């Protein structure tokens, strides 16, 4: 439910996956689903960003993107920020989203592009348990933002000793539990608060918290709320939430192939509405917490 006195959340309704929240502004974008879902060309993303710019309110709250297949839409939202003011990007995600992708940009590659934005001082990806950052997939990660000190992976359950051996050690922080990870992040933020853009992919959560159709992490809702609270002093310049579940069959053979190669399972039809209801409850908790963090956007 929208908190009175704060800008309302915005739903980019591309796939119909976000159940009603109360007080949100809905932007109908169903015609973009095939072009944007999972991946798109840079030219296609620029066209979408231009179309979105015409419809976004001047001031708004958290943006809900729909399925985790649209997480790369965080990138045009970051580009909308006032480039005269720097901020950090904090991402809660079970995956690094910094993988190589030769055909444009996709939901698992956008962070490499975000880290190159001049007004983003640093990118922290919290909650990774995916083997995408393990040694077997080392070559698939984009190394430049890790080598330059602009990106840090915060992970549990993944052996990442290989990173030190190739000079990437400072970009990897490994912990034995989500609790110790969050405690370390909170401590760092308290010592060096700064304005933040926060992006939450709910695949960072354990399945019993919010079920998605990607492999999932170990965060509890309390861990995300602790991270949000830690950003209070520096404030938020923006935020988004993704990780909803929806059914879709691609017209593009390439996208069907790539999605299958990524091991993305089908959502059982009988479970879809129940999963979406679970997601709605988590969205309401996150939106309530985000509404309490001061707005750090320049006026």
Contact yes or no for 282/210 (Cβ under 8 A): yes
Whole-angstrom CA distances from 33 to 13, 39, 155, 171, 245 are: 9, 10, 31, 34, 14
What is the rounded CA–CA span in Å between residue 237 and residue 222?
Answer: 22
Domain regions of the chain by residue span? 10-291
**Contact between residue 195 and residue 236 where contact means Cβ atoms under 8 Å apart:** yes
What confidence score (pLDDT) does residue 254 get?
Answer: 81
Q: What span, in angstroms and rounded, lies between the C-alpha atoms of 147 and 10?
A: 35
Q: Which fold has domain 10-291?
A: 3.40.800
Q: What's the pLDDT at 1?
A: 59
Nearest-angstrom CA–CA distance, 289 and 224: 10
Contacts of 74 (CB under 8 A, 6+ apart): 65, 91, 110, 114, 199, 240, 242
* Orientation angle between helical segments 221-230 and 178-191, nearest 10 degrees: 10
pLDDT (tens digit, 0 to 9) for every residue of the chain, 299 residues total?
566 668 999 999 999 999 999 999 999 999 999 999 999 999 999 999 999 999 999 899 999 999 999 999 999 999 999 999 999 999 999 999 999 999 999 999 999 999 999 999 999 999 999 999 999 999 999 999 999 999 999 999 999 999 999 999 999 999 999 999 999 999 999 999 999 999 999 999 999 999 998 899 999 999 999 999 999 999 999 999 999 999 888 888 888 887 777 777 778 888 899 999 999 999 999 999 999 999 999 87
- Predicted TM-score (pTM) of the model is 0.96
Q: Longest C-alpha distance within the chain, in Å?
A: 52
């Amino acid at each position: 439910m929208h908190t009175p006195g704060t800008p309302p959340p915005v739903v980019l309704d591309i796939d119909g996956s976000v159940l009603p929240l109360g007080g949100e502004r809905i932007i109908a974008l169903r015609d973009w689903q095939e072009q944007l879902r999972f991946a798109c060309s840079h030219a296609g993303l620029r066209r979408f960003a231009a179309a979105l710019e015409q419809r976004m309110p001047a001031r708004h709250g958290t943006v809900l993107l729909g399925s985790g297949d649209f997480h790369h839409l965080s990138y045009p939202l970051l580009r909308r920020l006032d480039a005269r003011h720097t901020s950090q990007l904090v991402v809660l995600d079970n995956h690094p989203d910094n993988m190589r992708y030769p055909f444009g940009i996709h939901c698992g590659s956008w962070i490499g592009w975000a880290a190159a934005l001049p007004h983003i001082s640093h990118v922290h990806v919290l909650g990774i348990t995916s083997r995408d950052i393990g040694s077997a997939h080392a070559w698939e990660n984009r190394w430049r933002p890790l080598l330059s000190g602009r990106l840090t992976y915060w992970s549990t359950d993944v052996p990442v000793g290989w990173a030190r051996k190739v000079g990437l050690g400072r970009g990897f922080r490994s912990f034995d539990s989500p609790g110790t990870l969050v405690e370390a992040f909170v401590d760092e933020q308290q010592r060096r608060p700064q304005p933040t853009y926060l992006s939450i992919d709910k695949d960072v959560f354990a399945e019993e918290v919010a079920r998605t159709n990607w492999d999932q992490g170990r965060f509890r809702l309390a861990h995300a709320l602790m991270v949000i609270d830690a950003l209070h002093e520096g404030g938020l310049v923006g935020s988004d939430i993704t990780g909803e579940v929806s059914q879709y069959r691609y017209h593009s053979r390439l996208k069907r192939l790539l999605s299958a190669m990524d091991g993305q399972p089908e959502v059982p039809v009988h479970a879809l509405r129940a999963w979406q209801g679970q997601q709605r409850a988590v969205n309401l908790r996150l939106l309530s917490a985000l509404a309490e963090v001061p707005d750090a956007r320049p006026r």
